[in-house]
Amino acid sequence: MESDHPTHPLTGKVIVITGAARGQGAAEARALAQAGAKAIATDVRPEPDGDCRRLDVTSESDWTALAAELRETYGHVHGLVNNAGVIQRDRLGEVRPEDFADVHAVNATGPLLGIQHLAPLMPPGSAIVNVGSSAALTGYYPVAYTASKWALRGVSKIAAMELGPRGIRVNTVHPGYIETEMTAAATPAFREATIGETPLGRSGTVDDIAPLVVFLLSDASSFITGAEIPVDGGLTAHGGVKSISDAVRPGTPDTQTP
């Protein structure tokens, strides 16, 4: 069904975004509001002078309180963006079980709790967007992070199947290397190597992600559910072949045509 508001496709929709105090979540909250939504921005660390509501995605009681508030204020919720996430960079041999569990609590259990608590408030036509990662499509070496994002893929697939009959869609976006505070601490070697594996030859910005999230929450995507969409400049599409291709091609990659 086409929206009556082509430039404001989310008019009248109440949409919750987690991890929205900064980075991708803040950009998504802005984009959703610009598209006409009532965007409920939440974060475990809301800025003191910002308009984020406090919500720790790992806390069942926080979700219960939010759901009760939304039921009271609006009666329903039309969208959820499970964006909050944390990185933990230990490798296989060094990661501690407690850190592994903590990362899962935010990146996989958090979205699960969000779906469990808000889906009951969602009428047909609602949509959920989970924010995965290119790590969820590869064997990216920070093992706790990667395993948690693979777990989120599983949650997404099951949610799409379980909620589809109620008219609720569930899709996943997989960002590649995006310039936010999460990646600000990356070493130059990491940044250079990642961009070297990215066919479009650059890092992404928060504004590369937000328009897709708006689309997936809007009625324009009403037959799309269970989809996983990388927004990664082609990073995961070649399955690791780019560095091999570049290594064996005569001349520099920048000056060659296919």
Residues lying near ligand NAD in the complex (CB under 6 A) are found at 18-19, 21-25, 43-45, 55-58, 83-86, 106, 131, 133-134, 175, 177-178, 180-183
Contacts of 86 (CB under 8 A, 6+ apart): 102, 103, 106, 107, 145
C-beta closer to ligand NAD: residue 14 or 84: 84
CB of 16 to ligand NAD, least distance (A): 11
- What is the closest distance, in whole angstroms, from the C-beta atom of residue 18 to ligand NAD in the complex? 5
Cα of 186 vs its chain's centroid, Å: 20
Residues forming a β-bridge with 31: none
Which residue number, 3 or 131, has a Cβ lying nearer to ligand NAD?
A: 131
We find the least distance from the C-beta atom of residue 161 to ligand NAD, in angstroms, to be: 22
Complex with ligand NAD: residue 55 or 112, whichever CB lies closer: 55
Which of 74, 140, 145, 177 is catalytic? The answer is 145
177 is catalytic: no
Q: How far is the CB of 145 from ligand NAD (least distance, A)?
A: 7
Residue 3 or residue 88: which is nearer to ligand NAD going by CB? Answer: 88
Helix axes 110-118, 143-163, angle to 10 degrees: 20
Distances in Å between the Cα of 36 and the Cα atoms of 4, 6, 202 are: 12, 10, 31
- In three-state secondary structure terms, 220 is helix
Q: Where in the sequence numbering do the catalytic residues fall?
A: 145
